[in-house]
Structure 1
Amino acid sequence: MTEKIQGPQKLGPLTPLVGEWEGDVGVDLSYHNKEDETSKTGYFEHAWFKPIPIQENGQQTLWGLKYAMTAWRHGEEAMDPFHDEIGFLLWDGVRKQVMRDVVFGRGIAILAGSAAEARDTELRFDAKPGDPCYGILQNHYLLERAEILEFKSAFTIDDEETFSYTSDLHMKLAATGAEMHHTDHNTLTRVKRYHPGSQYN
């Protein structure tokens, strides 16, 4: 068996994600206010991850990716997406931390993270409201309807051309007083690589 030769990976465990990806096996489990019910939705998703310039916060050096993930319900691929998020994935190699700095189009902002090693193939991004480092913000209306209690997410590098993710928003519903888990999961395959000489976009 030939040994795989890997480069320095300044992006740490984020390195394999660079490129564009698509996945058609997404499943969303969520509460629908209009119908007052919880149901599953299948979806198609397109994602891209692009390196950003090095970020320096005094003595802290961060390497990272700018990214976006957009999803369409099955049968609505030619229509407006039902989910859209943009953000950054960041790697602090000295403190061995990965971070997901993400904004969702519906008015939610999350900075999540956890400990990681440079060549880990499973990355966890966790956050709780009020946490001074890895916290959650949501707009007034959403907070009145469903208070987010915790966010847990994981990216798993399955192989060089495939990665999977899970996402779990633990919420308390105002309508019923009950708690629920809004979950998403999908597996995506790389559809485009970025040339190392490409300019930042």
Structure 2
Amino acid sequence: MSSIIGGVDYGPLANFIGVWEGRSGVDRAPKPQGDKTTDFSETITYTAVGDVDNAEVQDLVVVHYHQVVTRIPDGKVYHNQTGYWMWDKGTDEVMFSVSIPRGLCLLANGTYEKGKAIKFKVKAELGDTAYSVVQSKFLLEKAKTEAFEIELTLNENELTYAQTTFLDIYGRKFDHTDTSSLIKKS
């Protein structure tokens, strides 16, 4: 697949663009009465944004995403997030922004490796001056996110990921994990 879309070189982000569906996700989340594992399905829609320049120097290429996650046991949507994948053409850095309607946003950065598949690895840590977590007062007091990381592998028609949100919740540290595999539908 060409990385040129609409005259823009999307580089490592090119194959994201489209609609992806998965039915094999596993969420391991903390609960006060004991940890819970939930099977989920999801749809992630990636849309080309194009070139974005910052201060007439930085040349970013941007892809917007919207993820909707549904619990398989009861069919209820329990997670909805949006954000961007960004690639800095000059430094070859990738960035991933997340906004969740619970009072949490983050900006992670990292690297990618290009081979038969493209492997992305990004991370954000609370307190980092550039790539950090911003959260509401409630979350800081009751369910603080201390760090976030995701490893994502992008093939032509398959996307897999493993992500960990490092929490301080219910009086303990907890690694909240999500894994999934999605197929490109369009």
- Equivalenced residue count is 181
CA deviation string 1:18-69 (max 9, x = no partner): 1001000000001124xx3211010010111011031110200110101111
Correspondent of 1:65 among 39, 63, 88 = 63
Give the structure 2 partner of residue 29 of structure 1: 28
CA distance in 1, matches of 2:3, 2:31: 46
SS at match of 1:88: strand
CA deviation string 1:135-183 (max 9, x = no partner): 00111111111222211112101x311010111011122x33x211001
CA distance in 2, matches of 1:21, 1:132: 33
Give the structure 2 partner of residue 75 of structure 1: 73
Matched, 1:96 2:92: yes
Q: TM-score, normalised by structure 2?
A: 0.90
CA distance in 1, matches of 2:92, 2:161: 21
Q: TM-score, normalised by structure 1?
A: 0.84
Correspondent of 2:121 among 119, 124, 130 = 124
Give the structure 1 partner of residue 11 of structure 2: 12
Give the structure 2 partner of residue 190 of structure 1: 184
TM-aligned CA deviation for residue 190 of structure 1 = 0.6
SS at match of 2:14: helix
| Identical-residue share of aligned pairs (%) | 25
CA distance in 2, matches of 1:123, 1:117: 7
Correspondent of 2:82 among 77, 83, 86 = 86
Richer in strand (by share):
2
TM-aligned CA deviation for residue 6 of structure 1 = 4.2
